[in-house]
Amino acid sequence: MNNFLQHLECSRCGETFPHIVPQNLCHSCGKPLFARYALDQLTDTWKPKQLQSRPNTLWRYRELLPISNDKHIVSLGETLTPLIHAKRLGAQFGLQQLWIKDESRLPTGSFKARGLAMAVSKAKELGIKKLAIPSAGNAATALSVYAASAGIPAFIFMPKDTPTYNIETCQLVGANVTLIDGLISDAGKSVAERKTDEGWFDVSTLKEPYRVEGKKTMGFELAEQFGWKLPDVIVYPTGGGTGIVGMWKGFAELEAIGWIGKKRPRFISVQAEGCAPIVKAWNEGKTHAEPWQNAHTIASGLRVPQAIGDFLILEAIRESGGTAVAVTDDAIKEAMQMLPSTEGILTCPEGAATVAALEELVGNGTIKSSDQVVLFNTGGYQS
């Protein structure tokens, strides 16, 4: 049992809502809701030492996860992902402390498993009967498998040029797949238009409050793997930005319960040149991002023209002293060979984008040779 979840709170206006019924966005201002916990009750009672005897999965951070009763947890074995010291790749950029957080080891081969394990568990707890999702690919696969495992029907909307792996895996586990002539934003519109009539619960990232809770465990793992001292830099391939938003939230929670200090990694958000709304907003000094027109890139997970959490991503980048950069598809393709050939780590285009960004980041002094740097390889290679 876990009684630390208190309520949901709007990330923008602060209004609070009960967590015991399904919720999407803030009823007042339409922005994402965040799970809030009784952190003061955890401060003296929960210690890092207690983790040692727990299973090597993200569920070891149970006290700061939003599921009330363990019997509702839907798990496919969300293993802690390795943090690999990339010595040979680092040497090529003059970095002695370059690390890869290899998220490809998670169920379905991408870190989307973290968020959807959490969202589907919570949906089961709340008795939700049908789940719908717009996706650029990996979220669809992750929702489909967790929904299948929970026995909840899933309705998937994704662009018709989504990677075959994602389309086929959804179909294999029996999800209802609709292919859209458009982008993830168009898929989102289809879900929004039909959900009331169909009785679907919308699991779009950050429109649903618990996927971000799953993604924040990336930050918990990093903190634990580095001995509760955070690295200097996190380089993160950004689509909807749930990972950055989640890790930022998670670090604040760890500080509040006294497990880490004030230091935060500088968040460097990497996008593709063909779809870089966050980079554009960052360069223009804006607090919100304009929708990106004609989005295109081989990194389908980065093909997100508009992120509902744009202001939260930009805030985390700004407050952490980070930045945002765009890379070309050609540079991504090159990096898809460079990472495996130097480190033996196979990567998806999104993970490769972080490697592709290194040359510029080291070249212009954003990353210094003494920095401890973590690249997120957010998924594995799929042909």
Ligand X SMILES: *Cc1c(COP(=O)(O)O)cnc(C)c1O
Q: Using the minimum distance from each CB to ligand X, give the nearer residue, 297 or 378.
A: 378
With CB under 6 A as the contact rule, which of the stretches 6-14, 93-101, 234-242, 274-282 interacts with ligand X?
A: 234-242
Find the binding residues for ligand X in span 100-139 (CB under 6 A): 110, 112, 138
> In the set 188, 214, 237, 322, which binds ligand X (CB under 6 A)?
237
Q: How far is the CB of 354 from ligand X (least distance, A)?
A: 9
Site string for ligand X, 160-199 (x = CB under 6 A): ----------------------------------------
- DSSP class per residue in 256-290: HTTSS-S--PEEEEEEETTB-HHHHHHHTT-SS-P
Q: Please list, in sequence order, all residues whose beta carbon lies within 8 angstroms of the beta carbon of residue 262, skipping any fewer than 6 positions away.
A: 255
For 62-78, letters b (16+ CB in 10 Å) and e give bbbbbbbeeebbbbbeb
Smallest gap from residue 113 Cβ to ligand X (A): 10
268-327 positions binding ligand X, by CB under 6 A: 301
Rounded Cα distance between 217 and 149, Å, is 21
Q: How many chain residues are in contact with ligand X, going by CB under 6 A?
A: 16
DSSP string, 5-72: EEEEEETTT--EE-SSS---S-TTT-PPEEEEE-HHHHHTT--GGGGGGS-SBGGGGGGGSS-SSGGG
Least CB distance from residue 131 to ligand X, whole Å? 17
Name the residue whose CB lies closest to ligand X.
301
- Tell me if 379 contacts ligand X by CB under 6 A: yes
Measure the CA–CA gap between 323 and 317, rounded to whole angstroms. Answer: 6
Residue selected from 214, 241, 250, 322 as contacting ligand X according to rule CB under 6 A: 241
Least separation in angstroms between residue 3's CB and ligand X is 29
Q: For 104, how many CA atoms within 13 A lie in the half-sphere containing its CB?
A: 19
Binding site for ligand X (CB under 6 A): 110, 112, 138, 205, 237-243, 301, 348, 350, 378-379
